């Protein structure tokens, strides 16, 4: 029998406590529900929240929609992620700039994509940072990442 190789996906935001852990949690749930062969992780470009759980507001927003992210722990992006992962989906243009700046060749750069281009190719839309806003912002991020993760998985 032909084995389909596992596709390895990394999600990146600034702090790894709001947007990228949510993307990771939603993708993990859909991979399990659909018995797909994906590996998934997330990280931040910044070091501020290394070792922290996701923001409690994001944990609750995800829980309300059937996604558990309470077990995730923040880490910072490492250059070795370029080699390990097949695709690196970033949330906004600042993340894109910060990650591209660490790439040492074209093949590493080609792995980095703005996640919302999976929904509207070439639009370069950003997933807004919900950290300083209200509950609407968290719900909006969930809606965007729910759709984007469907596109990534071809659902
Ligand atoms: P995230 O949100 O990048 O989606 O995890 C943020 C979390 C923390 C901060 C900024 C954005 N912060 O400035 O601490």
- pLDDT tens-place string over residues 38-49: 999 999 999 999
Q: Which of 18, 9, 29 is nearest to 113 (CA)?
A: 9
- pLDDT tens-place string over residues 5-54: 799 999 999 999 999 999 999 999 999 999 999 999 999 999 999 999 99
Residues annotated as catalytic are 13, 19, 129
- Cα(23) to centroid(ligand 1), Å: 14
- Cα(3) to centroid(ligand 1), Å: 38
pLDDT of residue 97: 98
CATH number 3.40.1350.10 is the correct assignment for the domain at 7-153? no
pTM, to two decimals: 0.97
The dihedral region occupied by 124, where left means phi > 0, alpha psi between -120 and 50, and beta the remainder, is left
Find the largest Cα–Cα distance for the chain. 51
Which atom of ligand 1 lies closest to the CA of 74?
Answer: 5
Q: Using an 8 Å Cβ cutoff, are 22 and 62 in contact?
A: yes
Q: Using an 8 Å Cβ cutoff, are 119 and 148 in contact?
A: yes
CA distance 102 to 24: 22
For ligand 1, atom 7, the nearest C-alpha belongs to 15
Q: Cβ(19) to ligand 1 under 6 A?
A: yes
């Amino acid at each position: 029998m032909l084995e389909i190789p596992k596709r390895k996906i990394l999600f990146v935001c600034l702090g790894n406590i709001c947007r990228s852990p949510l993307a990771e949690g939603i993708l993990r749930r859909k991979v399990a529900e659909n018995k797909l062969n994906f590996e998934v992780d997330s990280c931040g470009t910044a070091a501020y929240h290394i070792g922290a759980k996701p923001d409690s507001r994001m944990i609750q927003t995800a829980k309300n929609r059937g996604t558990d992210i309470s077990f995730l722990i923040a880490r910072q992006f490492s250059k070795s992620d370029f080699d390990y992962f097949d695709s690196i989906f970033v949330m906004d243009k600042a993340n894109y700039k910060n990650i591209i700046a660490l790439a040492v060749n074209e093949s590493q750069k080609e792995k980095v994509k703005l996640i919302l281009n999976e929904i509207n190719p070439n639009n370069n839309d950003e997933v807004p940072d919900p950290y300083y806003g209200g509950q609407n912002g968290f719900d909006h991020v969930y809606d965007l990442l729910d759709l984007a993760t469907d596109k990534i998985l071809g659902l």
